[in-house]
Structure 1
Amino acid sequence: MGRWEPGADSRLREAAIELFLERGFEQTMVADIAERAGVTARTFFRHFADKREVIFQGAADLEEWSLAALEKAPATASALETVEVALDATARLLGGDHGFARKRQAIIESSAELRERELIKLNSLSARLEEALRRRGFGDLDASLAAATGIAVYRVAFERWAGAAEDGDLREVIRDTMIHLRALTAAE
């Protein structure tokens, strides 16, 4: 296929995911991905900065989506309730493709480099949520704790959801995880 044909980005993503699952992330080269997708390596780099971006493309958009939702939270919401609004929006955006999430999570878990990148992504989101909470008038401690707690809940919930055998609602898993956290802290 020529590089001008439509759908190269989705073919590249599909080829990369297949190869990462078959061979492993570290053993898969950009040339392998491009060949399987029927394009050149140069075309790959028009769509992705590197092979990690196949997994993490859209992280900046996800942050912006989450922050926009946080800004729409009721003014009377606590810091943690405000973060829950952002998490719910994130789940609406990510929760639609359980099959892809399972594959993506398996690839991330198989690579120390990708696990590190995932933690960096989550840390960045936490910092942005914290900053947004401060702008809404929450104090430093409340903003820090709420953002960090929200990211911890999200991470645990996402791993539970992605690891589940059957499709489920990511939003429900996040809500259930938050309820469990509240019960756990109330028992302390």
Structure 2
Amino acid sequence: MSRWEPNARGRIEEAALELYGERGFEQTTVAEIAKRAGLTERTFFRHYADKREVLFAGSRALEQFIVDALTRIPDSTAPIDAVGTALEATADLFRERRPHSLRRQAVIAAHPELQERELIKLASLSAALAETLRRRGVGDPAASLTAEAGTAVFKVAFERWIGGSGHQDLSELIRDSLAELKAVTAGARPD
């Protein structure tokens, strides 16, 4: 096996998802993932700290993408609308990766430990959004409430997107979920 292999991260990710689907997360070892990817365990650990990290390695990049999108929105935009627009910007990222997202979510849904890690990821996103809103001049508790609400909107929309037929766009589901939230907080009864 050569020392350098192209697209090692992608191959590890694909091998891990295949094995998690075939054997289950807990029954799959790093050695098996590396072997399936045609790599060594050492190469695996150069890219990922452990087998869970394969599922969550993109979390920081996604968080930064959303924060960057939020910083580009005019300060005159209402905080919840700014967060909604920033979240909608993720739709293009996920559109291309829907099959991957479906497989990833199936693994996470089957393991409480991974579900907990997913919630930690969402809490980190909420904290980053709140901090960005504060930098935009939104005070507390409004910044924290808006960030938490935005994160909930994203979670609900993403779950609907994963659970749906794939015909509805994620950005549309984010808009719909945000509209539902606004209706509920305005005192309207949901449909």
Q: Which TM-score tier does this pair reach, normalised by the shorter chain? A: over 0.9
What secondary structure does 2:105 align onto? helix
**TM-score w.r.t. structure 2 length?**
0.92
- CA RMSD in angstroms comes to 1.4
Equivalent in the alignment of 1:168? 168
Equivalent in the alignment of 1:177? 177
CA displacement, residues 46-91 of structure 1 (integer Å, 9 cap, x when unaligned): 1111111111112111111111111111221111112112211223
Q: How does 1:138-149 map to 2 (within 5 A)?
A: 138-149=138-149
Equivalent in the alignment of 1:135? 135
AA paired with 2:151? I
Total equivalences in the alignment: 188
Q: How does 1:29-178 map to 2 (within 5 A)?
A: 29-178=29-178
What secondary structure does 1:140 align onto? coil
Q: Percent identity?
A: 55
Q: Give the CA deviation at 1:3.
A: 4.1
Q: Give the CA deviation at 1:15.
A: 0.6
Within 2, Cα distance between the matches of 1:9 and 1:75? 38
- Tell me which moved more, 148-157 or 47-56: 47-56
Q: Give the CA deviation at 1:36.
A: 1.0
**TM-score w.r.t. structure 1 length?**
0.94
- Tell me which moved more, 164-173 or 75-84: 164-173
Within 1, Cα distance between the matches of 2:99 and 2:105? 10
CA displacement, residues 1-35 of structure 1 (integer Å, 9 cap, x when unaligned): 43422122211111100111111111111011011
Within 2, Cα distance between the matches of 1:94 and 1:147? 21
Name structure 1 gaps, 5 residues minimum.
Answer: none
Q: Give the CA deviation at 1:179.
A: 1.3
CA displacement, residues 95-116 of structure 1 (integer Å, 9 cap, x when unaligned): 3221111111111111111111
Name structure 2 gaps, 5 residues minimum.
Answer: none
Within 2, Cα distance between the matches of 1:184 and 1:22? 42
